[in-house]
Chains A and B, each alone.
Chain A
């Protein structure tokens, strides 16, 4: 008796859900008809993105998400985009390249978002940008900077940052080469993780250093799942390289530094990709060993670009800590997209947005950005930072510098 009543209740529920779904399906068309009578709609603009909120890239993925949120907060507080409020639809791809593709398919076809933002990392940007291309939707992304992002002839992809992977260490490499003879190192080692982004970044530096006469005595690529760094560090130490340039991500950077430290190998300078700008994780993991380590960053809290101070302030209010680089990249992505959409005056004509992005330059918190035909930014390099007395100090370029390099680095 009870069972059958439950069943009936269940049936009723199912019927209700089906009915609700049917009404939901009707909704857009009915609102469309009101759209034609009223030019300005209150209907929110939906912006879709998939981010690695779990798995390998969860730390930076979360940072980008926070950046998107701060941007949304600012846009909505100042009257929205095209007078309409902005809503974010964010999916978690678990750092998995198959999931990220499925996520964007879903964002476009099921959620029917108006605009797209990119995921985090070149690794996830490469497959997901193909989806955006297929549906001819503009794909402004915060973190895909490897050569393979740009060499596939994509028309709708734009990397909202100041430099592509191979240029990110330019300022540092040029500074090393400019050191007076005697101080200038003569040999360098390049441990590199097998990742489309990290390899390009380290090799960009290597080309400049080699041209400046600094000999490469070690260059090896290790797999992303590498955990045992003792022997790698032993081989680098054995090469007696004077400086180390690591094409690293995070975990590997920590493993490398610890192993070099344990072998009492003391290079004059250590430049690592990505990890040093990951705050506070990098310092938490390494303690005093961070002293003197260099790294690149697309952004600095000390930048005097328009809106940067407000970004830092709102971020700190919303999340209780200072933003890191990844959040700034998310925010910059929003700024670039918003400027183009406002200029075009609609989200429907994606081709017009694309053409506008290609032809103009954009004021962002990272600086003024413009794009070439592949969607790569035409900037000179990333800001160079160094850990001094446990704090991040910005060294290059000179207009953002908050300190001068400590070279050679103190022993660890």
Chain B
């Protein structure tokens, strides 16, 4: 075990973790704002990957440009799902939304399979397998692009939540929906926009997924389990917590991959999930449910 290998693993871990953090930020936001566990989150990631892939291979549109269409579209779809489906669940939203979003995930998976078969796809662009190296450490271009894109999106989301009137209303809704609505905040509108925002981040996240990994309609199950573990560790509803937890898990996964074995690296997510639920059910970074961002 050389120190060079360890350093390389940490670099790869940070890059991977950055992408995980964007994926889990959307999921944890949706949970925070309406106590909905969006099982379909990774399915939306895969859907976005397919749309970018289709736009690129069939229509010749640069994957980054396709974001101008997918991000607003996902936002609208998110608002509609909240308004037309989730809002009807009323008091049973936490439990019943699990069923509802699972159904959404299966519907997306099935539709993708019908449209584009079960074959593996990947967004293959000229720079996707190049890399540059610094002091002997390789930085794969696709992962660096993914990391930067994730960081930008994450930053935008953070600023929106932190410094806009809407963000304040949204945070108030997360902390205490009843008190927020007494103050005149239209919590149902806020919840719709919250769901829309969560899915909008999935549109960006899905493009990154497509750039880095091969995908097929059923790939989302492997991802959703992973990002679920991350948002529990980060504290459900805490966007910052999710980001920190994602970075941490990315590095831990990567280091375990090179020091112990791949089997342990896969298991580490579930060990952390179990450990967190036993010792710190509120997560390590979020404190009480989403008190702060």
Known A56-B218, A262-B140; judge A227-B258 contact (CB<8 A).
Answer: no
Task: Give B85 Cβ to nearest chain A Cβ, in Å.
Answer: 25
Interface residues of B in 88-143 (CB under 8 A from A): 113, 117-122, 124, 128-131, 133, 138, 140-143
Name the one of A226, A230, A262 contacting B16, with C-beta atoms under 8 angstroms: A230
Interface residues of A in 216-248 (CB under 8 A from B): 220-223, 225-228, 230-232, 234-235, 238
| Residues of B contacting A59 in the complex (Cβ-Cβ under 8 angstroms) | 117-120
Asked if B78 is an interface residue, CB under 8 A from chain A, the answer is: no
A235 touches B263 (CB 8 A): no
Asked if B186 is an interface residue, CB under 8 A from chain A, the answer is: no
Task: Give B191 Cβ to nearest chain A Cβ, in Å.
Answer: 32
**Residue among B120, B216, B254 having the largest count of chain A Cβ atoms under 10 Å:** B120
Cβ contacts A285-327/B at 8 Å (1 or 0 each): 1010100000000000000000000000000000000000000
Task: Give B134 Cβ to nearest chain A Cβ, in Å.
Answer: 13
| Residues of B contacting A285 in the complex (Cβ-Cβ under 8 angstroms) | 120-122, 124, 214
Task: Give A290 Cβ to nearest chain B Cβ, in Å.
Answer: 12
Asked if B222 is an interface residue, CB under 8 A from chain A, the answer is: yes
| Residues of A contacting B143 in the complex (Cβ-Cβ under 8 angstroms) | 230, 262
Known A223-B266, A231-B257, A281-B120; 17 more pairs at CB < 8 Å: A56-B218, A58-B113, A58-B118, A62-B117, A194-B263, A222-B266, A230-B140, A231-B12, A232-B257, A232-B258, A235-B5, A238-B4, A251-B120, A261-B129, A262-B142, A264-B133, A285-B122
Asked if A409 is an interface residue, CB under 8 A from chain B, the answer is: no
Majority SS at the chain B contact face: helix
Cβ contacts B141-156/A at 8 Å (1 or 0 each): 1110000000000000
- Across the two chains, which residue of chain A brings its CB closest to B217? A54
Complex Cα–Cα for A134 and B2 (A): 54
A258 touches B118 (CB 8 A): no
Asked if B188 is an interface residue, CB under 8 A from chain A, the answer is: no
Which residues on B are within 8 Å of A, measured CB to CB?
A: 2, 4-5, 8-9, 12-13, 15-16, 113, 117-122, 124, 128-131, 133, 138, 140-143, 213-214, 216-218, 222-223, 253-255, 257-258, 261-263, 265-266
| Residues of A contacting B4 in the complex (Cβ-Cβ under 8 angstroms) | 238
Complex Cα–Cα for A97 and B151 (A): 40
Complex Cα–Cα for A264 and B261 (A): 22
B261 touches A220 (CB 8 A): yes
Can you report 28 residue pairs joining A to B where beta carbons are below 8 Å apart? Answer: A55-B118, A55-B218, A56-B218, A58-B113, A59-B117, A59-B120, A62-B117, A221-B262, A222-B263, A223-B263, A226-B262, A227-B223, A228-B16, A228-B257, A228-B265, A230-B15, A231-B8, A231-B253, A234-B9, A234-B258, A235-B5, A238-B4, A251-B214, A254-B122, A262-B142, A263-B131, A264-B131, A264-B138
A222 touches B131 (CB 8 A): no
Interface residues of A in 272-290 (CB under 8 A from B): 281, 284-285, 287, 289
| Residues of A contacting B255 in the complex (Cβ-Cβ under 8 angstroms) | 231
Asked if A387 is an interface residue, CB under 8 A from chain B, the answer is: no
Task: Give A19 Cβ to nearest chain B Cβ, in Å.
Answer: 35
Complex Cα–Cα for A226 and B222 (A): 9
* A-B complex: 4 closest residue pairs judged by Cβ atoms: A58-B118, A222-B262, A231-B257, A262-B140
Complex Cα–Cα for A54 and B116 (A): 12
A234 touches B129 (CB 8 A): no
Known A238-B4, A254-B214, A263-B138; judge A231-B254 contact (CB<8 A).
Answer: yes
Complex Cα–Cα for A264 and B122 (A): 21
| Residues of A contacting B130 in the complex (Cβ-Cβ under 8 angstroms) | 262
Contact size range, A: 35 or more
Task: Give B110 Cβ to nearest chain A Cβ, in Å.
Answer: 8
B119 touches A58 (CB 8 A): yes
B2 touches A262 (CB 8 A): no
- Across the two chains, which residue of chain A brings its CB closest to B266? A223
Known A234-B5, A285-B122, A285-B124; judge A223-B262 contact (CB<8 A).
Answer: yes
Task: Give B5 Cβ to nearest chain A Cβ, in Å.
Answer: 4
Which residues on A are within 8 Å of B, measured CB to CB?
A: 53-56, 58-59, 62, 194, 220-223, 225-228, 230-232, 234-235, 238, 250-251, 254-255, 258-259, 261-264, 281, 284-285, 287, 289
Task: Give A353 Cβ to nearest chain B Cβ, in Å.
Answer: 33
B261 touches A221 (CB 8 A): yes
Name the one of B138, B257, B262, B265 contacting A262, with C-beta atoms under 8 angstroms: B138
Complex Cα–Cα for A344 and B268 (A): 56
| Residues of A contacting B261 in the complex (Cβ-Cβ under 8 angstroms) | 220-221
| Residues of A contacting B266 in the complex (Cβ-Cβ under 8 angstroms) | 222-223, 225-226
Task: Give B205 Cβ to nearest chain A Cβ, in Å.
Answer: 14
B131 touches A262 (CB 8 A): yes
Known A227-B222, A264-B131; judge A54-B120 contact (CB<8 A).
Answer: no
Task: Give B281 Cβ to nearest chain A Cβ, in Å.
Answer: 26
A255 touches B213 (CB 8 A): yes
Name the one of A62, A238, A251, A261 contacting B2, with C-beta atoms under 8 angstroms: A238
Complex Cα–Cα for A250 and B249 (A): 26
| Residues of A contacting B16 in the complex (Cβ-Cβ under 8 angstroms) | 228, 230
Task: Give B108 Cβ to nearest chain A Cβ, in Å.
Answer: 14
B214 touches A234 (CB 8 A): no
A254 touches B129 (CB 8 A): no
Task: Give A102 Cβ to nearest chain B Cβ, in Å.
Answer: 19
**Residue among A55, A231, A263 having the largest count of chain B Cβ atoms under 10 Å:** A231
Name the one of A54, A227, A289 contacting B118, with C-beta atoms under 8 angstroms: A54
Task: Give A231 Cβ to nearest chain B Cβ, in Å.
Answer: 4
